[in-house]
Chain A
Amino acid sequence: MTFARILQVFKKEMIELRRDKWARFRLVIPPIIQILVFGYAATFEVFGVSTAVLDLDHTQESRDLVSRFVYSDRFQIVKIARNQQEIVDGIDDSDAAIAIVIHPGFAQLLRKGQTAPVQVIVDGTNSNTALIALGYMNEIAATFSRDYMTDHLQRTRDGPPLRGALVTLEQRPWYNSGLNSRWFFVPGVIGTLVLTMIVNLTSFAIVREREVGTLEQIMVTPIQPVEFILGKTFPFFLIGLGEVVLIAGVGTLWFGIPFVGNPLVLLLGTSLFLLSTLAIGLLISTLCMTQQQAFATNFFVVNPLFTLSGFSFPITSMPTVLQWLSYLNPLRYYLVIIRATFLKGVGLSVLWPDMLALAAIGSTLLAVSILRFRKSLD
């Protein structure tokens, strides 16, 4: 293995990249658009859920309950229905995602000190929004009953004001005190973007050489496959680092995501992660003869990696088998590292198992892909 030949391939690759006017655009604009889209759009919080109300009780109590929905920014009352049919229509037509129906006798039950049911109809098509909205509704209903109860007790008893025995939670979220989901997503986007870009770049670049015939030509020169691979992929490694800086820059400067950790720890984690992404790209390139095949294969590889990474779906909620599988996923570890360095500021003393896992996965994948690459030339 000679360094000179690695350098020649590297230089050749850089000249090609420099001449590719589209490359500059492709490498900069889409990531920025992605990070902006994710930064603004990706959120688990639910605001302004369209709500229809049918109040058949017409009492002070029922109006009080409805007004609590009106004044909550989580819900937006879009329809005051006059009968059950209008409620059904509203949900069917997607005018409303939630309907609250207060049946006659609601206040009467309350006054007797009994449990008064309120009917809630939820459009379950978007199960996520529905679940979160139901949570907010429970909260409103609970506050309503608590207030009603204290009020009732106070009015019916003589003597000093009395409160019902209550438990309150004092929340202290660490690292992200506002529980801002943007803080959770934006660092994660760095991981997913780098994965997609580098896998695509690497596999396309090598498959293109195969398609054009340069790969066959190169292999009859004294160059070793390893030399070729190193020279060929090193530019993508640099691009990967550049992307991380770019996206992290937009994330911290534009969205104000804090970066409290050590940049060197992130650099180490990123380098190890890039090892895996380059290897995945290389591995795909050994399986594909054309760029179209590579495109389709990338899609099938990147999507599961994304889904099983903990980027948005919690790994702990997955079936056991998928949880095991996610241990093989480099993105899983990188997301831990990246979120930890951004938000928690922890260092290697905490992150070493993830670093180790990334190094192991990366070097295994790389070894396999180099062996396969050699074979694929036959």
Chain B
Amino acid sequence: MSAPDKPKIRVAGLTKRFVGTTAVEGATFDIARGEIFGLVGPDGAGKTTVMRMLAGVMRPDAGSIEIDDVDVVADPEQAKLHLSYMPQRFGLYEDLTVDENIRFYADLFEVPRKLRDERTGPLLAASNMEAFRRRLAGQLSGGMKQKLGLICSLIHTPQVLLLDEPTTGVDPVSRRDFWRILYSLRESGVTILISTAYLDEAERCTRLALFHEGRLRYCDTPKRLKALMPGTLLAITSTAARDLHKALLGRDGVMSVMLVGDGVHAVVDDADRRVPELSAALDAGKIPHGELVRVTPSIEDLFVGLLKDEHAS
């Protein structure tokens, strides 16, 4: 990626405490114009809290947020004009039709009628929803509701789009529509911050920020993050995954072991040396197992690996 001249979004030392817990602690990151910046991390990591603070609906306890030159903390109302925030559950009025919902949100942003009508058509077309303009929002499928939410969020052509798990529970076809729209937005220079639980979606982001327990642990492109991961990932199928997990844990050269659907994923320091060693050890221990296959780590492996490391140190 080319060096961004000036970051679109600058976040520094962002902190939010709730009674008894710290939801976000000292998060610092920049987002360049036109990025699709992914927020990933387990539930409760603080992703939604970060989004809400960026959207100006929650006041941080410390730290600063700047979008362009607008200080979001000091002047959230000014910031709201340029950004759009789509919460996990987009608030559509189910008793209003698709058109009425769009009109309502356009009116709240004071989009002139002519401009609104010009924008509505292409957005509906891009999301394959032209046929449903007069349908009540409550009667749309989950995927279409999310797409309508996105349209409502885009009707005032924001420069920054904040999406909190927009595709959770959305059918694959709608998800594809959704991402197509995101890519075209990016083309037109919109900066997108998206949190997602789908790791295939994380791979599509230009950069990823991994949050864990309120802290930003890693922030880089998916490719470089993968390079961060030391060792080689082995996939081992087994009918007795738990025994296998126990047998591998703490062995020489085994850096981490994780249970997956049909066996375990293990990270080893030197695959050439460890594969025969482990194989022999497992045979000796009479633990049923398949072949030890070298695989490219997914984002999930990556994060589990990285977070494990951190806990160990």
Residues of A whose CB lies within 8 Å of any CB of B are: 2, 4-5, 8, 12, 15-16, 19-20, 209, 212-223, 377-378
In Å, the complex CA distance between A20 and B96 comes to 11
Check if A5 sits within 8 Å of B95, measured CB to CB: no
A16 to B: closest C-beta gap in Å: 4
Q: Is B179 an interface residue (CB 8 A)?
A: no
Mind listing 24 A-B residue pairs with CB under 8 Å? A4-B110, A5-B108, A5-B110, A8-B104, A12-B93, A12-B104, A15-B95, A16-B95, A212-B89, A212-B94, A213-B89, A213-B90, A217-B87, A217-B90, A217-B92, A217-B152, A219-B57, A220-B56, A220-B80, A220-B84, A221-B105, A221-B109, A222-B80, A378-B59
Check if B55 sits within 8 Å of A220, measured CB to CB: yes
Name B83's closest neighbour in chain A (CB-CB): A220
Check if A16 sits within 8 Å of B87, measured CB to CB: no
In Å, the complex CA distance between A19 and B94 comes to 10
Check if B87 sits within 8 Å of A216, measured CB to CB: yes
Name B105's closest neighbour in chain A (CB-CB): A221
Check if B104 sits within 8 Å of A16, measured CB to CB: no
Interface residues in B236-260 (C-beta closer than 8 Å to A): none
Lowest 4 A-B CB distances belong to which pairs?
A214-B91, A217-B91, A213-B91, A213-B89
Determine chain A's interface SS by DSSP, over half rule.
Answer: helix
Determine chain B's interface SS by DSSP, over half rule.
Answer: loop
A223 to B: closest C-beta gap in Å: 5
B108 touches which one: A19, A209, A213, A222 (CB < 8 A)? A222
B81 touches which one: A215, A216, A222 (CB < 8 A)? A222
Q: Is B85 an interface residue (CB 8 A)?
A: yes
Check if A214 sits within 8 Å of B107, measured CB to CB: no
In Å, the complex CA distance between A20 and B136 comes to 12
A194 to B: closest C-beta gap in Å: 25
Contacts of A212 in B (CB 8 A): 89, 91, 94
In Å, the complex CA distance between A217 and B105 comes to 10
Check if A221 sits within 8 Å of B108, measured CB to CB: yes
Check if B57 sits within 8 Å of A220, measured CB to CB: yes
A216 touches which one: B91, B94, B110 (CB < 8 A)? B91
Q: Of residues B96, B107, B109, which shows the largest number of chain A Cβ atoms within 10 Å of its Cβ?
A: B107
Check if A16 sits within 8 Å of B91, measured CB to CB: no
- Other A-B contacts than A214-B93, A220-B80, A378-B57, 11 sampled, CB-CB below 8 A, are A8-B107, A12-B100, A215-B91, A216-B91, A217-B86, A220-B87, A222-B80, A222-B81, A222-B109, A223-B108, A378-B59
Q: Is B227 an interface residue (CB 8 A)?
A: no
In Å, the complex CA distance between A213 and B89 comes to 6
A238 to B: closest C-beta gap in Å: 18
